Structure 1
Amino acid sequence: MTSLIIDTDPGVDDAFAIALACASPEVDLLAVTTVFGNASLETTTRNALRLLALCGRTDVPVAAGADRPLVYPQEHEADRVHGSDGLSGRAHLLAPGPNEVSELDAVGLMARLLAEADEPVTIAPIGPLTNIALLLGAYPSLRGKIERLVVMGGAISGGNTTAVSEFNLWSDPEAARRVLVEERIPTVLVPIDLTFQCMVQRPWLDRLAASGPLGETLVGFTTDYVAHYTAFFGKECTILHDAIAVAEAIRPGLLRTRSYPVEVDCAFGPSRGALIADRREPEIVATFGSKLARALDIAVETDVDAVLEYLLSRLAR
C-alpha cells in the first residue's frame, strides 16, 4: 500500500492524476493539497474538492496552500491552456460535494499527516513547488517521514512556457531550487521531455469517454487542452503530464530514470525557471568536475504503450 499526498493545482491533467489515485486500490490517498498555478488558489481548491466528489472520495481531506510564489509574483496563469476555470470552462458542471476545505492549511495538514504516519509517505507535487518548499523549510525534522517526492516539472531539451522553462518550475523558481537542488530527499523528477513521449490521441480519449460517466467527464475537460496541444504539435493530441507522474508515484519503476547533477536558474533573464541538467558522461564529469551539486533522478524513458494502457485500465474502471 502506497501512502500518498498529492500537491496540485487542478488543472486538466491534474484532474486525471487525482482520478488515477482514487481509482488505484493500492493507494492510501491521505490528502490533496492545493497551490496556485494553472488557476488561482481559490479555483484550484474548488476544483480539487469537486474532483474528489466526482471520484466518490469525499473522505480525502483538502487543504489550501500558497496563493503566490515564495518571492516574486507569478507573471501569468495557464488559462490559455486549461481554460479560465482550470477545466476548459466545464468546472461548473461538477456538482459540489459535502467535503469542505480543511481548517489546516496545506503545510499544516501535510506536517500533521507525516508526523502521524507509521510508514514513510510519498508526496506527488504536480504544480508549482511552493507548498513543498515551505513544508521542508518549516518542518525539517519530518524529512525522514517522506518516502520520496515524485515531482512533475522541468524541461531538459526545451520548455513549454519559455524557450527553456517548464510551467511548474517557471511559476516559482526559488521554491523549485529549494526542493530540487538544496534538499536531499529521494526524488524522481518527471520532466516534459518524458511526458511529451506519452502523447494521448483521439482513439485513447474516445475509449475512455465510452467507459462510463467518470471517463466521459474527464474527457469533457480536455477541450481547451486538446486545442492547445494540437496547435503545439500540429496534430490532434494532448499530454497528461501530471497523471504520468502520479502513475510513477503509485508504481515505482514505471518510468526509467537517470541521475544527473542539476540546478534551477533563478536569475531574471530568458532562462529563469530553467532546469539545468549536467548530462555529460560520468567519466567526463569525474575528470572535469561539475558545479552542479545535487544529483537528481530524472525520468528519461518508458514503455509508452504500457503507460497509456495502465492509465486507461485504471481510469476506465
Structure 2
Amino acid sequence: MGTRLIIDTDPGVDDAFAIALAALSDDVDLLGVTTVFGNVSLEATTRNALRVLQLCGRPDVPVAAGAARPLVHPQPARAGHVHGEDGLSGRSAALPEPERGPEPGGAVKLLVSLLEAADEPVTIAPIGPLTNIALLLAAHPHVKEKIGRIVLMGGGVGRGNSTATAEFNIWSDPEAARRVLVEEDVPCVMVPLDLTHRCAVSTAWLGKLAAGGRIGAALEALTPDYLASYRRSLGWDGIVLHDAVAVAEAISPGILRTESYPVDVDCTFGPGRGTTLVDRRRAGMRGEGEGAVAPSAVQVAVDTDVDGLGEFVLGRLTR
C-alpha cells in the first residue's frame, strides 16, 4: 500500500472531488476522514463526507465530526453562495445514503487513534479550516512523530478570495492556521490559491468526467452552483478544484513544485485578517539577530504541470 492518508475536510464541491480522488486511488491507504465547519455547517459537511465515501464504495473509511466553529472568534461567513446551501449545489441528497454514521468521540479522538496505531508516517491533508488540526497538535503533541507531513489547501501568496488578501480556509480560523503553520514543527506543504486557480478545469474536462462512469457522472452532477460561481470569477466556463490539487500532492509527492518560505498568518482585526504572509525575499534580506524571521518549514506549492495534473485527477476519478 502507498500513501497512508487522513483527510480533514468541509465538503464543499472541491472537497468531494478530493475525497473521491483519494478513495478511488489504489496506491492510497485512506485511514479516515474528519470533518470541520467551513463551506457549510458541520452537520452538512459530515453528511456530505459520508455520502461521497458511499458513492465511491468506501463505507469502510471511518468518518468523525470535529469542530463546529473556530477556536476563538466566530466564523465571519460560510460559502453557500459558492457551493450551494447544502455544500453540493443542492444535490447532496442525490448521493447514496451512507451505510454507517460518524464515529463516536469526534475528530480529534479518531485522529489520535489512527496516528497512534500507525506503524509508518501518515500524511494529513486538511482541506478546510485548520481548527481540528490545531486542536490535535495542541492537546496531543506526542502524535507529531507519526505525522510525515501536512499537505493543506489554504492561503495565498498574492491573492485572496474571501477578502482581497485572505483565502477562505485560513480566513475562517486564522488563529488555528497560525498554530499549525507558524507555531508547530510538523513539516507542512501549503497549496495556495495562486496555484490552484492556475489548475482550473474546463467544462470539456467535466464532460469527460461525466462520461467516465457512474462515479464521475455523480461528481459532475454536483457542480452547477460551483460552476456558476466560477464562471463569474474566472470569466470562462470552468471550475477550480482547489482541494483536489492538494490531495494530488498528498498522494503523489512532487506532483507540485514547492519552495521553502517563512510564513505567518495575520490574526489582527484589520483588513488583512486571515492573510498568509509569505516572505519571498532571499534569506540574506530577511534580517538577522533579534526580531529576525526564523527559517520556516513551510513548503509553498508554486508550480506544476497543469495539464498533467488535470489528467492525473481525471484518470483516477474515472478509473
Q: TM-score when scaled to structure 1? A: 0.98
Residues 181, 294 of structure 1: 8 Å contact kept? no
Residues 37, 129 of structure 2: 8 Å contact kept? yes
Shift, 1:94, TM fit: 1.2
Q: Where does residue 176 of structure 1 map in the other structure?
A: 177
Q: Where does residue 142 of structure 1 map in the other structure?
A: 143
d(CA) in 2 for partners of 1:145 and 1:238? 35
Q: Where does residue 316 of structure 2 map in the other structure?
A: 314
Shift, 1:100, TM fit: 1.1
d(CA) in 2 for partners of 1:206 and 1:35? 30
Please say if 1:185 is aligned against 2:200.
Answer: no
d(CA) in 2 for partners of 1:173 and 1:287? 27
Q: Where does residue 35 of structure 1 map in the other structure?
A: 36
Per-residue Cα deviation, 1:196-221 (whole angstroms, up to 9, x for no partner)? 11010111010111111111111111
Residues 182, 294 of structure 1: 8 Å contact kept? no
Shift, 1:289, TM fit: 8.8
Q: Where does residue 223 of structure 1 map in the other structure?
A: 224
Shift, 1:126, TM fit: 0.3
- 5 Å-filtered alignment, 1:74-223, equals 74-223=75-224
Residues 286, 292 of structure 2: 8 Å contact kept? no
Identity %: 60
d(CA) in 2 for partners of 1:100 and 1:281? 50
The residue type equivalent to 1:316 in the other structure is T
The residue type equivalent to 1:82 in the other structure is H
Shift, 1:281, TM fit: 1.9
d(CA) in 2 for partners of 1:71 and 1:304? 37
The residue type equivalent to 1:147 in the other structure is G
d(CA) in 2 for partners of 1:162 and 1:267? 14
Segments of 5+ residues of structure 2 without an aligned counterpart are none
The residue type equivalent to 1:13 in the other structure is D
- 5 Å-filtered alignment, 1:243-254, equals 243-254=244-255
Shift, 1:282, TM fit: 2.4
**Per the alignment, in what secondary structure is the counterpart of residue 189 of structure 1?**
strand
Moved more, 89-98 or 25-34: 89-98
Per-residue Cα deviation, 1:239-288 (whole angstroms, up to 9, x for no partner)? 00000000000000000001111110000011000000111122323679
**Per the alignment, in what secondary structure is the counterpart of residue 188 of structure 1?**
strand
Per-residue Cα deviation, 1:119-138 (whole angstroms, up to 9, x for no partner)? 11100000000000000001
Shift, 1:95, TM fit: 2.0
Residues 256, 299 of structure 1: 8 Å contact kept? yes
Q: Where does residue 299 of structure 2 map in the other structure?
A: 297
**Per the alignment, in what secondary structure is the counterpart of residue 75 of structure 1?**
coil
The residue type equivalent to 1:204 in the other structure is W
The residue type equivalent to 1:241 in the other structure is H
d(CA) in 2 for partners of 1:276 and 1:289? 19
Q: Where does residue 48 of structure 2 map in the other structure?
A: 47
Please say if 1:57 is aligned against 2:58.
Answer: yes
Segments of 5+ residues of structure 1 without an aligned counterpart are none
Per-residue Cα deviation, 1:69-113 (whole angstroms, up to 9, x for no partner)? 000000111001000000000001112121111012100000011
- How many residues are paired up? 317
- 5 Å-filtered alignment, 1:5-24, equals 5-24=6-25
Residues 31, 61 of structure 2: 8 Å contact kept? yes
User: What is the root-mean-square deviation in Å for CA atoms of aligned residues?
Assistant: 1.2
Residues 126, 151 of structure 1: 8 Å contact kept? yes
The residue type equivalent to 2:282 in the other structure is E
d(CA) in 2 for partners of 1:111 and 1:288? 38
Q: Where does residue 69 of structure 2 map in the other structure?
A: 68
Shift, 1:116, TM fit: 0.9
Residues 287, 293 of structure 2: 8 Å contact kept? no
Q: TM-score when scaled to structure 2? A: 0.97
Please say if 1:270 is aligned against 2:271.
Answer: yes
Shift, 1:25, TM fit: 0.5
Per-residue Cα deviation, 1:18-49 (whole angstroms, up to 9, x for no partner)? 00001111100000000000000000000011
d(CA) in 2 for partners of 1:294 and 1:194? 23
d(CA) in 1 for partners of 2:45 and 2:212? 26
d(CA) in 2 for partners of 1:138 and 1:208? 41
d(CA) in 1 for partners of 2:169 and 2:196? 14
